[in-house]
Every structure is written in C-alpha cells, then in structure tokens.
Structure 1
Amino acid sequence: MVFIREIDAAQVAKSVMILFAVLMFRNIIANIIIKALKKLSGKYNLKNIVLVLDSIEKPLVNFFTYTGLYFALIILPFNADINIFLNRVYRTFVIITITQGLLKIISAYAEELNNQYLNKEEKTERTQMSKTVFPLLAKLIKAIIIIIAVAAIAVEFNFEQLSSILAGLGIGGAALALASQDLIKNFFGGFVILADKSFSVGDWIKVDSFEGTVEELGLRSTKIRTIDKELVTVPNSRFADRELINFSARANRRVNFTVGAVYGTSSESLKAAISKIKEMLDQNPMVKNDSALVKLDKFGASSLDIVVQYLTTTDYTEFMAIKNDINFKIIDIFNEEKISFAFPSMSVYMEK
C-alpha cells in the first residue's frame, strides 16, 4: 500500500512554514484573543467571563498547536486512508483540548466559590456545607466530563469496536463489581456524609483514633489534619459504621478539673478562695454566663478537693489560651489566700 503519493519540495516547504509559523505565533495570537475578550467583558461588566478566559488560555494555545500541525500534514499528498486517520486524530485532540478547558473552568469556579465562603466571617450552616459541597460537586462534574470525552474519542475510532469492548466488559462484570465494592461503598459514603450533615470542611472531628480538622471531603475519602499536622486519609465508608464525634458541632466546650488544697487550710481561706475563683470566672468574657461552678467537692486522700467547672469557646487554640489564663489566675488567688497546693503524700507513724 502506498501511503504517500509523489511529493515535491514546494509542498514540504509550505508544510514546514505553516508549522514554524504556528509554533512561533501561537502564544501571541492566544494572548491577543484573550486580551481582546477581557477588554470586551470589562466594557460590559462581565466579571465571570474573565475567570473563564484565564482558564482557557493554555487550552487555546494547545488548540492552535494541534490545528497548525494538522494543516501542515494535510498539505502533504497522503492517500485517502491516512487523511481519514489524520482527521480522526485532529478531532480527538480537539476533544482533548475542549475537555482540558472545561476542567480548568470548573476548577477555577470551584476555587473561587470556595474562597468566597472561606472569607466570610460568620460560620452559618449553609457556609459550612458550601465549603464541603463545592469541591465534591466539582470532582463529580469533572468525572462526568472525562467519561463523555473518552466515549467521544472512542466513537471517533469506530463505534462498533467500542460496542465489542463494552460487551467484553459485560462478561467480566461480576468480577469487576466484586473488585470495586469498596470503591462504591466509599463513593456512596461521601453522599451519606452530605445528606446526614455529619460534618463539613473545617470541622474538628474524631473517628476511631484519628482526631483533627477536616481539610477535604472527596468522592472516595476524607482528609483529616491532626494536631501533629499529619494528614490522615480516611475512607468514606468508615464513617457509616463507626462512631463519629464532631467537636465543632457543640456550642461550647466544658472545662472540668479539681484543685487540691493541703489539709490544715482554714475554712475561711477556702471559702475566700472559692468565692474569688467563682467571681473571676463570672467576670471573664470568654466564659459562658452562669456556667461557672466552684465548690469544695470532697476530702481527698491527701487534699481538700475543689471542683472547678465552666464552659468556653470550641476553638482549640482559643480554648487552650483561656484555660492557660484562668489557671494562672487560680494560682494567684491561692497565693493571695496563702493556700498551698496539695500533692499526693503519705504520713508514716513509727512506734518505739
């Protein structure tokens, strides 16, 4: 079979010149088009169009490259079969370019919408859910676009062959279903999380032995950043059959501890210390109103135990800062009342 007919130097030169011109001017042409469209969108106040134009700049350059290469090749005197093949390859690259552009547009819009909600000071339920839904929805739309693109490319290279391949896959469908059980469970687990509103991106949660901030909710797994800054990837199916604690869902965080005073402390000093601690907690703006409880709880083995309870913010960093401040103030109050802190001790009596 003859793939190419007689060719002369003029055809080769013309082909090389087209290819050279496209490679030289593709970026310039793309920039001119993008700038012209941006100027037009600015004139009519179309802000969303600018985001689209920024996303398609690279795919546009690729389109000019593929188009230039295609025109450079079809000038050459290939036979009919090769020309048909070149047409199919060119259309395939056009599909890839369009797919690339759509994926970039979706990524840009998802990031823009997510940033808008991240910048909001108020953390409403809608805001939290939006931060979770936008990335997940973007991934789902991307997956659909890729599937459509693959199907379109398969159609370009003979639909009958695609039907045969799908029929062959049907024979091994049972094995494929068994192999993808976990994947399907994780996929639907992500939608269960959204439906139940168990948690959102940014929430502090604990599942099994993992505790931290939810950074990303994907189609297959959820990423959690622990206190030690480790990134843990948890399959979504695990949230369906295990206990989940969402610390961010609570309105306040409870602090509960016991302070021990040495035996021998006078009741007047204890009462004064308890009263001052209670007053200090009531006046603290970071402690919830009417949540403070300070009482002489019990007579311990080596101390007079004073129980201290109060409610404060759920943010971990603020929570630790508030606890730190209150604990130092309790030390100051004990020092003012000349009360010593008790520690585990034992008295030994020896008989002669």
Structure 2
Amino acid sequence: MILVAKRLWSFLFLLTLLLQSDSITAQLLGSSKTTAEEPAKTPDDSLGRRTPQGTVNGFIKAIGDQNYLRASQYFVLSKRSYRKTAERIRIAKTFQQLLDQGGNFSPSSIISNKELGRIDDDLSTGIDLVGSISTDKTAIPLYLENQSDDSQPAVWLFSAETIEAIMSADIKGEKTFLDRVLPNVLIEKKLGNVPIGHWAVVVIMTVVSYLLSRLLIFMFVFVIQKLWRKAASEKGTAIIEAFTLPVQMYLTVILFVAFTQRMGISIVVRQRFSIIIITIGILAFLILLWRMTDFVTMYTRSRMNRRGRISAISAILFLSRATKVAIVFIGIIALLGIIGVDVTAGLAALGIGGIALALGAQKTIENFVGSVSLIADQPLRVGDYCRVDDIKGTVESIGMRSTTIRTSARTIVTIPNGQLSASKIENFAHRDRFLFNPIFNFRMETTPDQMRYLLVELRSLLYAHPAVLNSPPIVRFTGITADAFKVEITAYIEAVNADISQEVQEDILLRMIDIIEKSGTALAYPSQTLHVSRDTPFSAEKAEAVAETVKKWKENNELQLPKFDPKRVEELKGTLKYPDDGSFKPEEL
C-alpha cells in the first residue's frame, strides 16, 4: 500500500509539472486565447427585470418603498411620458391605488422565473398575464411584455396596453374602505412602508375568516347529518371527518382573500401573504389526500375481513404506506417550489436514483407486482388445495414477497409471487363437482345380454344415487380390446370437498362391484399379467337368469338402451339409501 501511494503521488506531481509547463509555454508564446472559449454571460439588470417574476417583485418593492420614480421604470412608456417625471410618478401612484382598491397579482411562485416567460399559455410568446384589476368602474388585465429581441437580454415591462388602461382609469382620488374607516394615526404610522392599520386588519381578518369558516363548516355538517341517513355510520363519519379540516382550510383562505381585497388592504401586504395562502392551499390538499388514503384503507380492510381475504390486508397496508410516502414527497416538492427553490435538478437526480434502485430491486418489484396480481385475480386463497406446476399442496400463507404451500409430505414449499403469478395454477378447492370416471374391462366370456344388463344397472345406480349430480350420467360400451370388453363411466359427484367426494366414490364403486357380481361375469385381467390365484368359474345359472331378465325387458319394451326412459329416471332418483343401512350415522347420535 505504501509503494502504491508513493507511485500515485509521483504521478500527480509529474502531471502538475506538465500542466504548469503548458501554461508557461503559452505565456511565453504570447497566447491570449484559451482553447475553449466560455460563453458570454448575460449581464444582470439592476432592477431585476430579466424575468416576469423579477419585474413584479421589483415593482412591488418600489411602491412599498414609495419610490414611484423607480416603479415607473417597470412600465412601457412613450418618450414624451418618460421625460415627464411628474407624469411617471402619477402613473405609478394610480397603479398602486387601483391595486389597493381591487387588484391582485398572481403569487410570486406562480409567475414565471425564466427569461422566456411562460410558454404553456394561450398568449403570444413574450407576453405574460400576471394579475388583474377589478373594481366597480374598471377591469384591467395586467400584462408583462418582453421588450428585447433574441439578440439582446430579456427586459420584462408592464405592457403599453396595460399602462394606457391605467392612465385612462378614472379614480378621482377615491379612498379605499380602510382609508375611510381607520383613524389617521393608524394610517400615518407605518411598518415596512405599509400603514400599521393594514397589518392589524390582516390579523383581525385572519381570525374572522377562521371563525367564520368553522361556523359555516359546522352548519354544513349539521345539515348533512340531518339529510344523509348514513352520516351516523362508521363509513359516513369517516368521510365527513376526512373532508372537514381541508375544506375548512380552503374556506378560510377564500374568505381571507375576499375580505382583504374588498377592504382595500395594500397590495404590498397581500402580495407578501400570497405565498402563505398558496402554502395553506397545498397543505389542505395534501391533508385531504392523506385522510382519503386512511379512509380507503379502513374501508378495504374491513371489506377484506368480511370476505375472509386475510392475505389482501398486507398488500393494502403496503399500498397505503407507499401512497403516504408519495404524498409527503409531492408535498415537499410543491412547498420547495412555492418558496422559490429550483427542484428540477433534484428531481432529475431522484429520477436517476429511482432507475438505479428499480434495476437493483427488480426481483423485489416483480414479486410485489405478482402479489398484487394474486390478490386482484384470486387464483388461490389461504386454505385452498392446489397444484402449481408439479407441486401439490395446501396454501398456508400469501405474503408480499412469496407464497407458502404445505405438501402432502408435510413439507413447506416457498414460491416467489413473481414466479407464482406466471405459473399454471390448478385450484381444486373451487370445484363445484367431482368427476367420477372409472373404466371397467370385462372378461371376454361376457355375453351380450350380460353386457346389456350391466349397462342398464350401472346407469340405474347412478340415476338412483342421491350424491350423483342430476346431469345424465354416461355408461357406454366403448370398445373391445385384445383381452376385454371396455365400459367407460362418466358422472359427477356433488360434494362440498374432496374427502366427501371420495366417500361417495367409494360407495358407488362398492355398489357397482355388487352389480358386476350379480350379473355373473367378472372383471378381466390384462393378458400379460400372470394370474396365479384360482380363477372364478363362469356361472351358467347367473348368466341364464340375467338373460331371462333382459328378455323380459325386451318383451315389455323396457330395455333402457341406448337411452333411459325419462319416467324411469324419475322413478329411480333418490331410491338408494346413502349412507347404506348398517353404516355409522353421526347425525343420529
């Protein structure tokens, strides 16, 4: 390590000497130009008129300092008006008086802080609307206009159209409401170049607006509780509480702005409070989003609890927390933008960091998206018996990252949700019926009448059994193989779960064995199997009895082949006892 450090210091020392030698050589050669010329920097305007925001702020400061001559330098004036100092002062004072009586500027943070101005509005390039004056006699939009071309630095001034409208306004020395009602001592004494009475009225109007908004909200909630039947429920109460505080904050701001503007409070004071007003509005909106997130979370959690979807609650809580983090993040960005902090570079850095984080946590995000898909689609639930690819078992838990399945060997298999959502899932728990599909191979010695007897009796059994679904069962003689007659049976068992279906299947198979034994034939063994035990002898007597039965069916037109008579089906339905006589019946205890 010491050797490497020494070599590194030697390399840096040599590099420094080379750089110094290059600069010395350049000086000796008399080179006065650098290899890369820096772009010319735009000189600052002493009045801050390079942007619309700077122009408005500079004008407000000038009239606040009562420096009306300086304030007139923010106007587009004719050469004749510009030469007359008294005219310039008169226009500035008239402008201030109109603003105090009923004018307003857009909040400073909303006005563009770029030399090009706003380019996303409907106005022409180089023109920005920054406020308006609205009194009983006048309505003047306040436009700023860029007075320079592309080759010169921007200079934003109040447009000639705006100044002309102000010059032609007839105010005749009218006083504002506050100037008429306030004592002279509160008008003459000033704080920050603003009459102290204006500051006092602002404080009073803040309190009045707050109390009045509380009263209005109380009355509004009272009316809702009387008219809305569900207002007293948990859901209705949560909705009312979620909206009460944000609406009250908005109402307080609206009342404050209306009162201060109509009472004629100085534009200097109102413009300083504009940032606070917008901040309160943003906070009210964020509080509303926060409370609505809590309400939606509470509502969905209770709904999932009622439906027994416990696995969805963890996802709901995670999404709720993620939403709240996003609300806080958006709020911080908005508030920083309001106070004038440029968040563009920060957002770009966060965007790059977010991409890097997303690439690093790709699997985690994939599993989270998979868990959301599982909760939304519900291909399986906790307690379901299912098969995922080649794994069969009961679902024990569905988490945000993975799902655990307990197999029949009592082992636990953990499957990531991203992989699970892309797998083929066979859920046995949602079956409304269970397939009963045995295939019987009868001995080649089976006679045709014995086969007819088997087909009729086996189907009669399925019709008569109460646990077999009412859909017509299928019992067909489907083929002759090299060593047996093949009969295929298809029916559906109606049961609440797989255990009950296996009980019913067991009962049906035992009854079918009885029918086969009664017919006089037997099941065939595969020809390649060596049957060492004693063979069951062929019963000629049973065959003759079965043949006689089939003969009677034919004589009476009662052979239920190839189809059963519907009357016979109705007679058979429910004639079997299940469970059979002699079986244990717990309901009789």
TM-score normalised according to structure 1 size: 0.51
Query: For the structure 1 residues 308 and 178, does the alpha-carbon distance in structure 2 shift closer, same or farther, using more than 3 Å as the test?
Result: same
Deviations 1:125-149 (A, max 9, x none): xx35x344235445766x77xx9xx
Cα distance in 1 between the residues matched to 2:411 and 2:319? 27
1:134 aligns with 2:313: yes
- Of residues 334, 344, 349 in structure 1, which corresponds to 2:516? 334
- The total of aligned residue pairs comes to 213
Compute the displacement of 1:169 (Å).
Answer: 10
Query: For the structure 1 residues 259 and 207, does the alpha-carbon distance in structure 2 shift closer, same or farther, using more than 3 Å as the test?
Result: same
Gaps of 5+ in 2: 1-300, 326-348, 530-589
SS at match of 2:375: helix
Query: For the structure 1 residues 242 and 314, does the alpha-carbon distance in structure 2 shift closer, same or farther, using more than 3 Å as the test?
Result: farther
Give 1:199's aligned residue.
380
Compute the displacement of 1:320 (Å).
Answer: 2.0
Deviations 1:34-64 (A, max 9, x none): xxxxxxxxxxxxxxxxxxxxxxxxxxxxxxx
Gaps of 5+ in 1: 1-109, 118-126, 148-167, 348-352
Give 2:61's aligned residue.
none
- Decide whether the 8 Å contact of 1:296 with 1:307 is kept in 2: yes
Query: For the structure 1 residues 285 and 229, does the alpha-carbon distance in structure 2 shift closer, same or farther, using more than 3 Å as the test?
Result: farther
Give 2:419's aligned residue.
238
1:320 aligns with 2:499: no
Tell me: higher relative CO, structure 1 or 2? Use CA pairs within 8 A at least 6 residues apart. 1
Give 1:290's aligned residue.
471
- Decide whether the 8 Å contact of 1:291 with 1:309 is kept in 2: no
Cα distance in 2 between the residues matched to 1:170 and 1:306? 69
Compute the displacement of 1:171 (Å).
Answer: 8.5
SS at match of 1:228: coil
Cα distance in 1 between the residues matched to 2:382 and 2:319? 17
SS at match of 1:190: helix
1:245 maps to amino acid: E
Give 2:454's aligned residue.
273
Cα distance in 1 between the residues matched to 2:498 and 2:375? 25
Give 2:400's aligned residue.
219
Task: Specify the structure having the higher radius of gyration (Cα).
Answer: 2
Q: For 1:20-39, what aligned pairs fall within 5 Å after superposition?
A: none
Cα distance in 1 between the residues matched to 2:315 and 2:356? 28
C-alpha RMSD of the superposition: 3.7
- Decide whether the 8 Å contact of 2:444 with 2:484 is kept in 1: yes
- Decide whether the 8 Å contact of 1:214 with 1:224 is kept in 2: yes
Cα distance in 2 between the residues matched to 1:169 and 1:230? 44
Give 1:77's aligned residue.
none
- Decide whether the 8 Å contact of 2:315 with 2:372 is kept in 1: no
Cα distance in 1 between the residues matched to 2:357 and 2:310? 33
SS at match of 1:275: helix
Query: For the structure 1 residues 332 and 139, does the alpha-carbon distance in structure 2 shift closer, same or farther, using more than 3 Å as the test?
Result: farther
Q: For 1:1-352, what aligned pairs fall within 5 Å after superposition?
A: 127=307, 130-134=309-313, 136-137=315-316, 176-312=357-493, 313=495, 315-345=497-527
Cα distance in 1 between the residues matched to 2:506 and 2:317? 42
Compute the displacement of 1:176 (Å).
Answer: 4.0
TM-score normalised according to structure 2 size: 0.32
- Decide whether the 8 Å contact of 2:469 with 2:491 is kept in 1: yes
SS at match of 2:438: strand
Query: For the structure 1 residues 139 and 173, does the alpha-carbon distance in structure 2 shift closer, same or farther, using more than 3 Å as the test?
Result: closer
Deviations 1:213-248 (A, max 9, x none): 222111111122223332211111113322222233
Compute the displacement of 1:305 (Å).
Answer: 0.7
Compute the displacement of 1:298 (Å).
Answer: 0.6
Cα distance in 1 between the residues matched to 2:380 and 2:500? 21
Query: For the structure 1 residues 332 and 196, does the alpha-carbon distance in structure 2 shift closer, same or farther, using more than 3 Å as the test?
Result: same
2:503 maps to amino acid: A
SS at match of 1:334: helix
Compute the displacement of 1:316 (Å).
Answer: 2.0
Deviates more, 1:175-184 or 1:254-263: 175-184
SS at match of 1:248: coil
Cα distance in 2 between the residues matched to 1:137 and 1:177? 21
SS at match of 2:437: strand
- Decide whether the 8 Å contact of 2:475 with 2:489 is kept in 1: yes
Deviations 1:240-290 (A, max 9, x none): 322222233332222222101100111222222222221222222221112
Cα distance in 2 between the residues matched to 1:318 and 1:346? 36
